[in-house]
Amino acid sequence: MSSSAGDRGLTMHWAFDEGAGASALERVTQTVDEIHYVFNNAEFTDPCTPPWRPGVTGSSLLFDGYSTYITHSVHKDKHNGEPELLAALSIGVWVAPRTYEWGHEGKLAAIVNRHNKDTGQGYMLGMFRHGSWSFQIGLADGEWTEIWSPDGCELPKNEWSYVNAVFNGDEGELRLYLNGSEIASAVVPAGSRLAEADDTDLLIGRNNHSSKLAEVFSLHMFSGLMDELKLYSHTLSNEEVASSYQEVLAAHGGVRPQVAYDDIKLDRTPLLADRHRPQYHVSPPAHWMNEPHAPVYFDGKYHLFYQHNPQGPYFHHIHWGHWVSEDLVHWRDLPVALAPEKDELAPDGIWSGSATYDADGLPVLFFTAGNDSASPNQSVALARSTYSADGDSDLVKWIKHPEPLIVQQQGMGAFGDFRDPFVWKDEDGWYALVGSGMEGGGGAALAFASADMLNWTYKGAFFEADIQKFPYLGPIWELPVFLPLGIDKQGVSKHLLLVSPVGAGADVEVFYWIGQLDKHNLSFIPDQEEPELMDVGDFHFTGPSGMVDPKTGRNIVFTIAQGDRTSVLEYQSGWAHNGGLPVSVYLREDGRLGIGPIHELQSLRGEKRLSLHDKSLTETNDLLKDIQGDMLEIQLEMEQGSAAQLGIKVRCTTDGDEETLLYYDWKESALLADRTKTSQHPEEKCSGIQGGKLDLCGENLKLHIYLDRSMVEAYANGLKSLTTRVYPGRKDALGLKLWGDGESLVKSMEIWDMKSIW
């Protein structure tokens, strides 16, 4: 891109027309700058260079929001120990933000900067919360001066905007331009000079005084597309700015160039080769997720949402990610469904919730609205699909109800902890459980009822446990889930209540009770006072959500499979966490809760690698020698024989230096995972023995195991699961071996390769 206006006084110019590679040319000085990018030298996936996309002219560079930036070393010219003084500075750049940074400590996500606010030197052009943006400079007298975009002039996501910032020291003026037109101006003293920050380099895409999160992640980084960045040593006029803008429009038929969503969305392609990232478990395309939630079936499709930070693989500024599926197995990535916005409802986060249907049968989302300027900063809010208005069959667009529906009052649970609404509908209206606690007591699910879905009445505690008897249930409950289990053999209607305890002393797992609903008092009466665990792994099966599948009538539970890694490894990997496999839960004939993987997962089976019956451990291990894999389904039944402990080693190296043992201990009546030899990688955390109680009641040990790279899920006898994570340091940790401390008969064993869903 060149123009007469663009050349006069031009001091730096990045055209981003390389289209490939890990460097960008600054055209004025012909300096080749390295592009910092996490996968330039990847450890766990195939190395690749930063993504390039079509630009407003030629190509543009896509900044990932947490690792992509450019350092340009500037000649630092000291004048008798004083910084260089500039009479004028102008900046022009095309940007298409993908997401907005939260603005921790009031700092900007940098587009371009060379500044030190503490010394009142340099300049910064960057974005702030909800698309607002600012140009900031340090004057020679040490004064730090800021000019901000006015309301209505925010930079929209996923669209190209042409941004200009101008400093005219002689006339004492700052100006901002958006898409060729002046939108703001500010006065500084005539004759002012901008004091260069000679102690720092120029950075593109990263704030050179960014805050750190978890000692690893630099906040305040630009996320999105950038093209045609120019810096000038003279004051651009209105005519020059407009001319540069119109020149680009002319090349695009007189309209602002459009951004194809596929060119700016998070791309999972670089992660498909990651040797630890699961490939048939649901996951975001990249970056951070915590719990999946709000499953809902509508118009032949299953929708599942998830807590998501699209900025990077760290916990911050949560949005609702969105997947859709026709079979609960193969999922498609959809755009972010709900994001924090510049409003009084949820500017600071869109936290967990659930989905149900309105009076017309259309899906609605209930979410926790985060507003740090309110007290409490959590309330229950609603969003509606645009399906009926514009035929949005994928339910991509959602409109938030402008005000919260349920605001916590004093005396309504533990004040300040009020989140994760679980909402359901029957012939009498709508009902909601909200996670909280009782003042001075333990965790609780609070109950609410509504006749119209908009006006809610508090009904008191739906259920609270005795924290003195069960201190591991903690002072606060999150993510309550309530599902009907049907009629037991005595003709009694039974329900399932799931909770996730948090806070001091809490064991953060998924606990459940089977019991009865007292609909008149909107409360829950458990069959047994003490809860049970769904999964006996340690903090790998958490964050429950659930639905009654209208298609099949099943109860299906979704969870997050915690990653169990350090922030350093999550930075290097570019992703954090994934969903567990969907689990079917039901009331067994013996009155216990049945737990197992959904049958649709069979559609992922590839080649059948093994099928045997009535073999000894030795005979079976001979047949296993040639079977290797990190994406497998294994079904195994073993008689106890003379053994007190029996199980299977997975992800084994041939020399046994790395392996993970899943086994059952008859003396302890426990299902266990031994990870003491799982990984020799010096930074991986997985180690030790995990597990919990499981009574087989005289049955053979029946294990249904899913291996998916770092994921290991073992379902035992339809009663419990054990979810854990494994990150072997060696690439040859792919073997299988049965293990026992005595003789045993392998009644049956079947193994299939499993296919990726992506």
For residue 250, give the CATH number of its domain.
Answer: 2.60.120.200
Looking at residue 4, what is its pLDDT? 42
* % residues pLDDT > 70 (the chain): 98
Number of domains making up the chain? 2
Residue 77 lies in a domain: yes
* Residue 550, token pair as written in the block: 């209208």
Of 208, 235, 264, the residue at which a domain comes to its end is 264
Q: Taking the CB of residue 156, how many other CB atoms lie within 10 A of it?
A: 11
Burial of 230 (0-12, 13-18, 19+ CB in 10 A): buried
* Residue 415, token pair as written in the block: 């004040």
pLDDT tens by residue, 48-73: 999 999 999 999 999 999 999 999 99
Looking at residue 76, what is its pLDDT? 61
Of 231, 264, 297, the residue at which a domain comes to its end is 264
Looking at residue 3, what is its pLDDT? 41
Residue 152 lies in a domain: yes
Residues 578 and 561 sit within 8 Å (Cβ to Cβ): yes
Q: How far apart are CA 586 and CA 594, in angstroms?
A: 5
Per the document, the length of the chain is 758
Residue-wise burial string across 475-511, b where 16 or more C-beta atoms lie within 10 A, e elsewhere: bbbbbbbbbbbeeeeeeeebbbbbbbbbbeebbbbbb
Q: What's the sign of the alpha-carbon dihedral 520, 526, 531, 532?
A: negative
Q: How far apart are CA 61 and CA 667, in angstroms?
A: 60
Residues 162 and 192 sit within 8 Å (Cβ to Cβ): no
Residue 523 lies in a domain: no
CATH number at residue 650: 2.60.120.560
Q: Which residues pair with 603 in a beta bridge?
A: none
Range of the domain at 242: 4-264
pLDDT tens by residue, 275-317: 999 999 999 999 999 999 999 999 999 999 999 999 999 999 9
Residues 421 and 432 sit within 8 Å (Cβ to Cβ): yes
Cα distances (angstroms) measured from residue 276 to each of 366, 710, 732, 756: 34, 5, 13, 13
Residue 713 lies in a domain: yes
Residue 391 lies in a domain: no
H or E element in which residue 38 lies: none
Of 264, 284, 313, the residue at which a domain comes to its end is 264
Which residues have C-beta within 8 Å of that of residue 426, sequence separation ≥ 6?
Answer: none
Q: Give, as one character, the DSSP assignment of residue 79.
A: B
Residues of the chain with pLDDT under 50: 1-5
What is the phi/psi pair of residue 346, to 5°? -145, 60
Residue 296 lies in a domain: no
Looking at residue 79, what is its pLDDT? 53
Which ranges constitute the DSSP H helices of 541-609?
567-573
Contacts 24+ apart (CB under 8 A), 460-465: 460/521, 460/522, 460/523, 461/413, 461/523, 462/433, 462/522, 462/523, 462/524, 463/497, 463/513, 463/523, 463/524, 463/526, 464/437, 464/438, 465/529, 465/531
Q: Taking the CB of residue 361, how many other CB atoms lie within 10 A of it?
A: 9
Cα distances (angstroms) measured from residue 469 to each of 473, 529, 530: 9, 10, 9
* Residue 284, token pair as written in the block: 């975001």
Residue 221 lies in a domain: yes
Q: How far apart are CA 578 and CA 179, in angstroms?
A: 40
Which residues have C-beta within 8 Å of that of residue 697, sequence separation ≥ 6?
Answer: none
Which ranges constitute the DSSP H helices of 131-237?
none
Residue 683 lies in a domain: yes
Q: How far apart are CA 75 and CA 80, in angstroms?
A: 15
Listed residue (655, 747, 649) closest to 705, CA to CA: 649
Give the three-state DSSP class for 599.
helix
Whether this prediction's pTM lies above 0.75 is answered by yes
Looking at residue 78, what is its pLDDT? 53
